[in-house]
Structure formats: structure tokens, C-alpha cells
Amino acid sequence: MNKTILLLIPVCGILAACEATGPLTCVPYSGPERECSAGQDPNVPHVTINYNSMIVAPPCVRARPGTEMVVNLVPKAKNEAGAARIFPKNAAHTWLNGTNDSNKDEIRIPVPDDLPEDDYWYGFEFNDKCVDPRVHIEL
């Protein structure tokens, strides 16, 4: 086999891996109202994302430090483990990373105990589609 081809195979693999883990530029969320739901309990932050329509409910989830944000993925019948991921829109917010590797129907994200009250934007990616909801941390 040609030496050039043999050299290019690992280089292409490395470039593909870097592209798969890098942040995407998400299309701005265009679903229902972005305001954080006053009726949603910040001690039990749950989000549902329909990966067909890319609708996020609620588009802004309220959470308290020390809780765990649970992202339910629907429709359940079509989920594949590892096909969906959440990533921080601000690279400094590394806690906002997760995938549905261990449970194909959800992503669990622990909320650190020491987060200040603020809005934290994250991207949700599935099959090259991306949307950008947020988490509002309140003390």
C-alpha cells in the first residue's frame, strides 16, 4: 500500500475525532417562550427534548446547585445510545457536558454545589441538528 495513504489514515481519524467533540454553532432556539417557568421546581430540574422537532420543554430550566438536571429524550423508540449530547456554549462551564451513553433515553447532568446564580446556555446536538436552551441557577 502507498506510504502516503498509510500516513493519511491516522491523520484523518484524528481530525474527525476533533471535529466530533468541538462545539457547534447552534441555530438559535425558536420554540415556545424562553422565560424560565415559574411553576417548575428548581430542586427537581427536568427537561424534555424532542429530537425530531428540536423542541425543548422548558426552554429555560431552573435548577439549584447540588441538584441533578435530567434531560428526557423523546420519542423513546428511536433513541440510540451516544447519539445525543449536551455541551456548554461557554467553554468555561465544563459541568454542562453529557451524553446519552449510559441510558439511551436520558442525559443526567450534576449541577455543581458552588455555582453562582446566573444563566448558563448549553447546546443540544442530535444528528447534526442543534438547539440552544439554557439553565438558570438560583440560590
Residue 110, domain CATH: 2.60.40.420
The answer to whether 69 and 118 have CB atoms below 8 angstroms apart is no
CA–CA distances in Å: residue 117 to residues 24, 46, 110, 132, 138 = 25, 18, 16, 19, 5
The answer to whether 109 and 71 have CB atoms below 8 angstroms apart is yes
Q: Which domain holds residue 63?
A: 3-137
Domain tally, the chain = 1
Q: What is the pLDDT of residues 65-92, one digit of tens each?
A: 999 999 999 998 778 899 999 999 999 9
Name the residue with higher pLDDT: 15 or 73.
73
Percent of residues, the chain, with pLDDT higher than 70: 74
Given a cut of 50, is residue 10 above it in pLDDT? Answer: no
CA–CA distances in Å: residue 136 to residues 14, 44, 100 = 36, 13, 22
CA–CA distances in Å: residue 15 to residues 9, 22, 73 = 10, 11, 29
Name the residue with higher pLDDT: 30 or 54.
54
Q: What is the pTM of this model?
A: 0.76
Q: What is the pLDDT of residues 30-52, one digit of tens each?
A: 555 556 777 789 999 999 999 88
Given a cut of 90, is residue 63 above it in pLDDT? Answer: yes
The three cell numbers of residue 54 are 428540536
Q: Which amino acid is at 112?
A: P
